[in-house]
Chain A
Amino acid sequence: MTPVLRSDGLTKRYGRRPALSDATLSIPAGRIVGLVGPNGAGKSTLLSLIAGIIAPTSGTIEVLGSQPAASAAQLAKVGFVAQDTPVYSALSVGDHLRLGARLNPKWDDLLARQRIEQVGLDLAQKAGRLSGGQRAQLALTLAAAKRPQLLIFDEPVASLDPLARRAFLQSLMEFVAELEVSVILSSHLLGDLERVCDYLVVLVGSRVQLAGDVEDLLEEHRRVIAARGELDSLPPGIEVIQADHTARQSTLVVKDTTGLLAQVVPAADVERLDLEDMVLAYLTRAASITAAAPARRHTEQPLEAQR
């Protein structure tokens, strides 16, 4: 099956500032992909590249087997809900549906009208007067009713209050389950995504820190607690992501793709990690690398771990 996304050395620079550096990814179809990272990490850049709104500075990208936005047929395969869910403020909700119907050959008008009714939008209402949540619903309806194979949401819940967030994501997930599409959605809050995604990409400081199937990732990562010094020489194949030392003991977060860990460390010293701890380990590592390189930007905010 064609992967949803395959990129190699994908890089986007604005002037000399890198927005996305050397992203090499291969994401299989049929997944709900969570793209997590602090603000300014390059999430929007990556999603805009996937949607073909912007072109890469270097590297290659293939979405569902073709170059993004290269043809009308390719555009029909990808639904993109951009950040802040832009809509035409002078056009009514009904006008937006007509727009969708006229510009998309595979438009599913029944789906669109049902969705609009379900979320309680008035067809005659001007889109400029909708609330943030209503606008997000309209943009989602537009993107979904074109019946794409891949739906992309850039921070779909960023403008919503915490209560509306959960409701929106809930309805979003029910909706996409019916549509049988691959989904990529981004958030600066892991808490928004961890319940819904089964594939995770962590982006910090314009670089992909971690990407993979959530189950596989959880299987590969372990926390090891041992007396200080005992873990100083781990065999190759076991990567230390994070290490905390006290006077007497060391706590490591390691990635083990070889299965060697069980042979080196007694099982009693090894713990499973939850998704949040694992992601935090990578964020901490990325932040320390960032701090070590002085000329980097200071606007990167730490990832908020909201539960």
Chain B
Amino acid sequence: MIWLTWRQFRAQALIGLAALAALAIFLVILGMRIRGTYDANVTDCGTTCSVTNARDIMEDTYFGTLLLAGLLIVLVPALLGAFWGAPLVAREIETGTYRLVWNQSITRTRWLAVKLTFVTLAGVALAGAFSLLLTWAASPYDKLLTARFEPLIFPTRNIVPLGYAAFAVTAGIVIGLLIRRTIPAMAVTLAVFAALQILVPTFLRPHLQPPVTETVAFTADTTVSEFSTGGPTNKGVSINGYGSAVPGSWMLSGRVPLLDAAGNQATRDTIDGCLKGDFRRDMACVAQQNMHFEVKYQPASRYWTFQWLEFGAYLLLGGLLAGFAFWRVRRGLS
């Protein structure tokens, strides 16, 4: 059965390997260049080294490229699901060959088990190779920018892409089994995968563990990227961009209100006396008014917990789908 699975899967596997080779070359070159930049600005610069400067250079040079590479990494499981998973059973049904193979001296359970295991493991291995390469290539960048928990980076590094691949391939197989036509099954697989890639980071991942709520005193040293005194009608004071002050964390709060000692939102009128036009001096003045604000975030220490949880969740979902496929196939088609 393994022979037949390989014989039918050969062409798709070779295309996958060719894509892997091409992307591997790109990622290795990218990794070398990122290392070059890191060395030049962090290790080999002696007294002129500045972390802030190095961060800026790194982000300016590689943000776009790494974003694109990350996108490719997430696209890989989607393509695996559509091109490896979906046709696996759908094509057999579409062309009627299931009636040939289901009459060999091998049970349908075994037939599906070999096909599903073989192709899913191949998919996980391929996605794993891509993830490993990107994780390696981007590691100096991730170390410097401490942003690996960010929604755009988190799904592209370490083990979660393997979970995506396991899920996508199994989902493709099951969708093919249900829809029974290759092309629609491929389209539905892509749609399901894309939907999960939007829904999970939006609704599930932030709540995998209850976020840490921290009350931060607003001092002269508090770094925020934006300080807003509200519009002409809404005079509430709010701040944004506190995230960089908790390195490596995943900041869930965006704009948060600035609160006075009693817990009410500060208004323009309360701090009006401080606003003279010099940002730093104004902030120092506001800081003396005993203000604070609240932020919610997932701390950096939870990164691996979250990687495992999301990996496990996708794996579990894939496992459930596989179980359904076995139940379905054992009953025979309709």
Residue tally, chain A, CB below 8 Å to B:
37
Cross-chain contact B106 with A72 (CB below 8 angstroms): yes
- In the assembled complex, which residues on chain A have CB atoms less than 8 Å from the CB atom of B334? 14, 54
Closest to A55 in B: B332
Contact of A80 among B4, B96, B99, B110 (CB under 8 A): B99
- How far, in angstroms, from A95 to B101 measured CA to CA in the complex? 13
A221 to chain B, nearest CB (A): 36
Chain A residues numbered 59-115 whose CB sits less than 8 Å from any CB in chain B? 69, 71-73, 75-76, 78-80, 82, 84, 86-91, 95, 98-100, 102-106
**B35 CB-CB contact with A under 8 Å:** no
Q: Are A87 and B106 in contact (CB under 8 A)?
A: no
The yes or no answer to A33 lying at the interface (CB within 8 A) is no
The residues of B that contact A78 with a CB separation of less than 8 Å are: 103
Collect the chain A residues with CB atoms within 8 Å of residue B101's CB: 103
B8 within 8 A of A: yes
Residues from 94 to 144 in B contacting A, C-beta threshold 8 Å: 95-108, 110
27 contacts between A and B (CB under 8 A): A51-B99, A53-B102, A54-B332, A54-B334, A69-B102, A69-B108, A69-B332, A71-B107, A72-B106, A72-B107, A75-B104, A75-B105, A79-B103, A82-B99, A86-B95, A86-B96, A88-B8, A88-B97, A88-B100, A98-B3, A99-B104, A100-B104, A103-B1, A103-B4, A103-B101, A143-B103, A146-B104
Tell me, yes or no, whether B333 is within 8 Å of chain A by CB. Answer: yes
| Known interface pairs A54-B332, A102-B4; A86-B107 also in contact (CB < 8 Å) | no
Contact with A along B1-37 (1 / 0, CB 8 A): 1011001100000000000000000000000000000
Task: Verify B96–A82 contact, CB threshold 8 A.
Answer: yes
Q: Which residues of A contact B332 (CB under 8 A)?
A: 52-55, 69
Given known contacts A69-B107, A99-B3, what 20 new A-B pairs fall within 8 Å (CB)?
Answer: A51-B103, A52-B102, A52-B332, A53-B98, A53-B99, A53-B103, A54-B334, A71-B107, A72-B107, A72-B110, A75-B105, A78-B103, A82-B99, A86-B95, A102-B4, A103-B4, A103-B106, A106-B105, A139-B100, A143-B103
**Are A86 and B99 in contact, with the CB atoms below 8 A?**
yes
Using A95-B7, A102-B4, A103-B4 as known contacts, say yes or no to A87 and B97 having CB atoms under 8 A apart.
Answer: yes
In the complex, A200 has a CB within 8 A of chain B: no
Whole-angstrom CA separation of A14 from B333 in the bound complex: 11
**CB of B205, distance to nearest CB on chain A (Å):** 41
Decide if A53 touches B105 in the complex (CB within 8 Å). no
Contact residues of B with A, CB < 8 Å? 1, 3-4, 7-8, 95-108, 110, 331-334
Q: Which residues of A contact B3 (CB under 8 A)?
A: 98-99, 102
With most chain A CB atoms within 10 A of its CB, the pick from B1, B97, B108 is: B97
The answer to whether A253 has its CB under 8 Å from any CB of chain B is no
A143 to B102, CA, bound (A): 12
For the complex formed, measure the closest distance between the CB of B162 and the CB atoms of chain A, giving whole angstroms.
Answer: 30
Residues on the A chain within 8 Å of B105, using CB: 72-73, 75-76, 103-106, 146
A residues in contact (CB < 8 Å) with B: 14, 48, 51-55, 69, 71-73, 75-76, 78-80, 82, 84, 86-91, 95, 98-100, 102-106, 139, 142-143, 146
Q: Are B100 and A86 in contact (CB under 8 A)?
A: yes
Report the Cα distance A91→B10, complex, angstroms.
11
Whole-angstrom distance between the Cβ of A211 and the nearest chain B Cβ: 24
Smallest beta-carbon distance A63→chain B, Å: 12
- Chain B nearest CB: distance from A299 CB in Å? 19
Shortest Cβ distance from B99 into A: residue: A82
Do A104 and B95 touch (CB < 8 A)?
no
A89 to B95, CA, bound (A): 9
The answer for the CA separation of A54 and B331 in the assembled complex, in Å, is: 7
Q: Which residue of B lies closest to A71 (CB)?
A: B107
Q: How far is the CA of A76 from the CA of B105 in the complex (A)?
A: 5
By a CB distance below 8 angstroms, the chain A residues around B4 are: 99, 102-103
Closest 9 CB pairs of A and B: A103-B104, A82-B99, A76-B105, A86-B96, A55-B332, A80-B103, A104-B105, A54-B332, A86-B97
A89: nearest chain-B partner, CB-CB: B95
Bound CA span A28–B165, Å:
52
Q: Is the CB of A102 within 8 A of B8?
A: no
A75 to B103 CA separation, bound complex (whole angstroms): 6
CA distance A99 to B2 in the complex (A): 10
CA distance A90 to B92 in the complex (A): 12
Q: How far is the CA of A238 from the CA of B103 in the complex (A)?
A: 43
* Residue of B102, B104, B110 ringed by the most chain A CB atoms within 10 A: B104
Q: How far, in angstroms, from A1 to B105 measured CA to CA in the complex?
A: 23
Residues of B within 8 A of A139 (CB): 100
Which among A14, A52, A103, A146 has the greatest number of chain B C-beta atoms within 10 A? Answer: A103
Chain A's closest residue to B1 (CB) is A103
Interfacial chain B residues near A71, Cβ < 8 Å = 107
Chain A residues positioned under 8 Å from B104 (CB to CB):
75, 99-100, 103-104, 146
Complex CA–CA separation, A55 to B331 (angstroms)? 6
CB distance from A100 to the nearest CB of B (A): 7
In angstroms, Cα B95 to Cα A103, docked, is 20
Shortest Cβ distance from A78 into B: residue = B103
**Chain B residues, CB < 8 A from A95:** 7
Q: How far is the CA of A292 from the CA of B8 in the complex (A)?
A: 51
Complex CA gap A69/B103 in Å reads 8
Using CB atoms, name the residue of chain B closest to A96.
B100
Q: Give bound CA distance, A82 to B105, whole Å.
A: 16
